[in-house]
Chains A and B, each alone.
Chain A
Amino acid sequence: MPSLKDIKTQINSVGSTRKITSAMKMVAASKLRRSQEKAEAARPYSSRLEEMLASLASSAASGEGIIKLLTGTGNDQNYIIVPVSADRGLCGGFNSSINRETFKLVKSLEGNGKNVQIIPLGKKSRDFFNRVMKDQIIESFVDLNISNTGYDSALQVSNKLQELYFEEKFDKCILVFNKFKSAISQEVTKQQLIPLDVSNSSKEENTNNSSAKAIYDYEPDEETILKDLLPKNVSIQIFKVLLESDAGEHGARMAAMDNATRNAGEMIDSLTLKYNRTRQAFITKELIEIISGAESV
């Protein structure tokens, strides 16, 4: 049986862990608010861009040059998977679910005879894929720090991807990221980045038919605009995904730390009960000794 002192130390150490986790929860909550605001602020740009693209997409006829970002290379052999994870842990299943889903995706694509390469974003997925499929990583980006550096870090990733695409190193690029659903729930989502998934935007076109279908004059002409628009769209999609994943990370950390704090509280309760029982047991034992001693006299 543990001594009273042992239990007391245990209670103290769980108590200080609880302090840490509840502090981390507060920090995550305030960071979550900030990154949610950022994500909100980025929305007008990306939604406008998508609208423009939707009304232009139909005019892309031939698959030459930059337009390939929209129409694809015509092949379906080489894939690049981009898992988007956090740089830090202690956020529940946030990183591991990304890694698990990506791993599954890579395996199933390979099962279909495709070549798959990986560009992990964030330390946690880089470390994971460094362990399990090191030779398939062609590049990795860590410390993107999206909430501080903003659009520039998305640009880095997007430039690299486009460079590889135009060198014809891959045919399709798929992002795997945590979609921010609410502060406490994220959903692992796969999004095809290159070539652009038009089915998505054409759906949007239908919903705001009246504005998107309006007849525009194009200056200089549709093709030139499209050529400018497509690379921007890739960057902005990455930017959006990074922001969303950032918000998701803080949300996940908040939930994880909330759980941890609650668990620590429960543990302290049960330890305190044990402490009191043990103390009572000692007292009872001492009393019995005294009484039986007195009786024998």
Chain B
Amino acid sequence: MATISFDLVSPENLIFNDEVGTIIVPGKDGDLGVLPGHTQVMSSLRPGRVMVYSEDKNLVKSFFVSGGFAEINPEKCIVLAESVVELNSLDKSSIEKEIEELGSKEDKESVEQLSIAKAKLEAVTVSFYDKI
């Protein structure tokens, strides 16, 4: 089976760059599963999980991104994300606390932060496949 090259880039650095089997990216209208030979797509992303699977379908890495863009062509998938954290470094209780703090505020920035935090909580709680 073929592989596809995957770059995960944040403004500060290149976070991930390797040949992988499958990537699942959180497209604005729904998750996109990207396999080698995928058609050319440019999509904006919603806050959510980026899951990276190896060629033999095992989960390699999982990240949370707070939005961004994905550029996909048959050989390459590039995700530009504003903030990227590894999923297993997130702590559920601290996110819940963040949501509580932001919940009462009403300015535009807090509302935005809140929706990101909610997506973060969802990313942590909702189960995912270790193998596909």
Contacts and interface: CB of A to CB of B under 8 A. Distances in A.
B62 interface: no
B42 A239 contact: no
B11 A220 contact: no
Interface residues of B, number: 25
A228 B44 CA distance: 7
Interface string A217-229: 1111000110011
Interface in B24-61: 27-29, 32, 39-44
Contact of B44 (A48, A216, A225, A235): A225
Interface stretch (A36-44, A188-196, A256-264): A36-44
Given A44-B9, A45-B10, A220-B28, A214 B40 contact: yes
Interface string B9-27: 1111110000000000001
Contacts, number: 76
Given A150-B12, A220-B29, A45 B80 contact: yes
Q: How large is the interface on A (under 10, 10 to 19, 20 to 34, 35 or more residues)?
A: 20 to 34
Contacts of B42: 52, 55-56, 216-219, 225
Interface string B73-84: 100001010100
A84 to B, nearest CB: 17
Interface string A38-67: 100110111011001001100000000000
Contacts of A154: 11
Interface in A209-255: 214-220, 224-225, 228-229, 232, 235-236, 239
A239 B27 contact: no
Given A216-B41, A225-B43, A48 B71 contact: yes
Contacts of A46: 11
Given A42-B12, A48-B9, A228-B69, 16 more contacts: A42-B11, A44-B7, A48-B71, A48-B80, A52-B71, A52-B80, A55-B42, A56-B42, A214-B40, A216-B71, A218-B43, A219-B28, A219-B42, A220-B28, A225-B69, A229-B44
20 contacts: A41-B14, A44-B9, A46-B11, A48-B78, A48-B80, A52-B42, A52-B71, A52-B80, A215-B40, A217-B39, A217-B42, A218-B42, A219-B28, A219-B42, A219-B44, A220-B29, A228-B44, A232-B68, A232-B82, A236-B11
Interface of A: 38, 41-42, 44-46, 48-49, 52, 55-56, 150-151, 154, 214-220, 224-225, 228-229, 232, 235-236, 239
Interface of B: 7, 9-14, 27-29, 32, 39-44, 67-69, 71, 73, 78, 80, 82
